[in-house]
Amino acid sequence: MSAIVTLVTSVMLGIGGVWAAYNVNMLPVSASTNAPVYDELFRVLFIIGSILFIGMTALVIYSLFHFRRRPGETGDGIDLEGNISLEIFWTAVPAIVVLFVGLYSYDIYDRMGGMQSLSSHNHENHMESNAERLWGGIGSGPIETSSIDQSSSLPIELTAMQFAFIFHYPKGDIISGELHVPVGKEVSLKMESKDVIHAFWVPQFRLKQDVIPGQPTILNFTPTKSGNFPIICAELCGPYHGGMRSNVIVDEQEDFDIWFNQNAKETISSL
């Protein structure tokens, strides 16, 4: 009987976890090509976490009532020592779960482009030194589809300093405190810090990349939804760290061209 109850409870927990993962939206709006891939991983982890949390909480509550000291009982409980089957179970199951999560997370990271070779992160404005060390950031898709001609991407240089983000557009020689990008176009962001470690984080893009002094980093992404999204420094960088914020403004291509031509020092028809 106990085996049947355990089986039914496990199935109910599994169904409940899956339902919650797909119906309880705890993430911000999805606004880049990377976001759905990340959300897939989040749902899997949420299902596993929900099953473990609800199952362990229910087991503790059950034990508190079922094994409580009854009125009139003054002795110790039953002396139990060792249970090989139970020990194998509680060792094997967590090991399998951790292995699955690790392999699945690696697969997601790979599909997001995190395992791309550094040579595939070509940025139009880093030809000044072949010896410059570039660290690969997250791409906009799987390895086999991310090695497209980077000339079609929009190159932007990000300089992080206490306590601001400065964006430079080599095409047009624009300097801005906000990041303006067109929707649906790949952006190649070359990032470097002038002082301490910062982090470029846009929750709606599901992207976070460290910005390190003396160590340029490339971050490729493609926005899929127009709007105004916050850029947050996610590394403690000093006393005003909490105020180190900016915005990424994703425009339709026509609106972006208007902004670009109004601010560019040289006229460019379209990007």
Q: How confident is the model at residue 268 (pLDDT cuts 50, 70, 90)?
A: low
Q: Is the pLDDT of residue 143 over 50?
A: no
Residue 223 per-residue DSSP state: B
> What's the angle, vertex CA 201, arms to CA 198 and CA 205, rounded to 5?
160
Q: How confident is the model at residue 116 (pLDDT cuts 50, 70, 90)?
A: low
Q: Residue 77: helix, strand or coil by DSSP?
A: coil
Residues in CB range of 49: below 8 A, 6 or more apart: none
**Terminal C-alpha separation, the chain:** 68
On whether the CB atoms of residues 211 and 157 are closer than 8 A, the answer is: no
pLDDT by residue (tens digit) across 214-250? 888 888 889 999 999 999 999 999 999 999 999 999 9
**What is the rounded distance in angstroms from the CA atom of residue 40 to the CA atom of residue 182?**
25
- Domain range summary for the chain, segments of one domain joined by +: 2-66+85-111, 118-263
Radius of gyration of the chain (CA): 25
Residue whose C-alpha is closest to residue 176's, from 262, 268, 270: 262
Sign of the alpha-carbon dihedral angle for 238, 239, 242, 243? negative
> Which residue has 């409580």 as its token pair?
68
**What is the rounded distance in angstroms from the CA atom of residue 43 to the CA atom of residue 181?**
29
pLDDT by residue (tens digit) across 172-189? 899 999 999 999 999 999
Q: Tell me which of 1.10.3720.10, 1.20.140.10, 3.30.43.10, 2.60.40.420 is the CATH number of domain 118-263.
A: 2.60.40.420
